[in-house]
Amino acid sequence: MSRAPRVQRLLIDGPAGELESLLEMPADAGAPRHYGVVCHPHPLFGGTMENKVAHTLARSLHEAGMPSVRFNFRGVGASAGSYAEGEGETHDALAVLAWARARWPAAEPLLLGFSFGGVVAIRAAAQVETERLVTVAPAIGRIALDGALPRCPWLIVQGDADDVVAPREVLDWAAGLSPPPTIALLAGAGHYFHGRLTDLKDAVTAFLKQKPGQ
């Protein structure tokens, strides 16, 4: 069993003020080759970086030997600012990614997000070069995706019993993308993956551990 990560709480400069953040470093890792930035679910419906799915995404990065940075979007927790319709939150994600790039200039970035945060991660990954993208139950109908889309390897994890984000809408949308994302469909899993967080972590960790081209 891997040792618990080293945890540091910090404030990262964002476009609307400081962003409350949580850095977790694998205890037995040297200089990282990759790191991940995790985006949480909708700020207006209780979403924070402490959300259990966001936490599970951070655990998946840890299992793959990578540092993770979770953060609260503007107006959440101790983060400055107020909700900005997904546009401002995308700029928040890009600011955290820029901070991480400065900390680990030789490492490759990954973006991960859940629900609202999944769409923010898609928007951010379309604007900067990221090695991989993971979106869990991305709420594609909640924020506009009218620009370019990511070209990096991309995993979508979707529960087929999701009662918040329509599974068929996500799957049909993903099927029309080129190149299409990898899909992990978890039978019987709802939007919040109650009782299925281990399955979620395993699916994400397996994707993170894949070598390019697999």
- Domains of the chain from N-terminus onward: 6-209 (3.40.50.1820)
pTM of the model: 0.96
- pLDDT score of 158: 98
- pLDDT score of 3: 75
User: What strands lie across the sheet with 6-14, from one edge to the other?
Assistant: 6-14, 17-25, 68-71, 34-39, 108-114, 132-136, 154-159, 182-186
Burial of 183 (0-12, 13-18, 19+ CB in 10 A): middle
Identify the three-state secondary structure at position 172. helix
Can you tell me the distance from the alpha carbon of 98 to that of 13, in angstroms, rounded to the nearest whole number?
A: 10
- pLDDT score of 4: 82
CB distance 115 to 47 below 8 Å: yes
For the chain of 214 residues, list the mean pLDDT of each consecutive stretch of 10: 84 98 87 96 97 98 96 98 97 98 97 98 96 97 84 97 97 93 98 98 96 56
Can you tell me the distance from the alpha carbon of 158 to that of 115, in angstroms, rounded to the nearest whole number?
A: 10
- pLDDT score of 34: 96
- pLDDT score of 27: 81
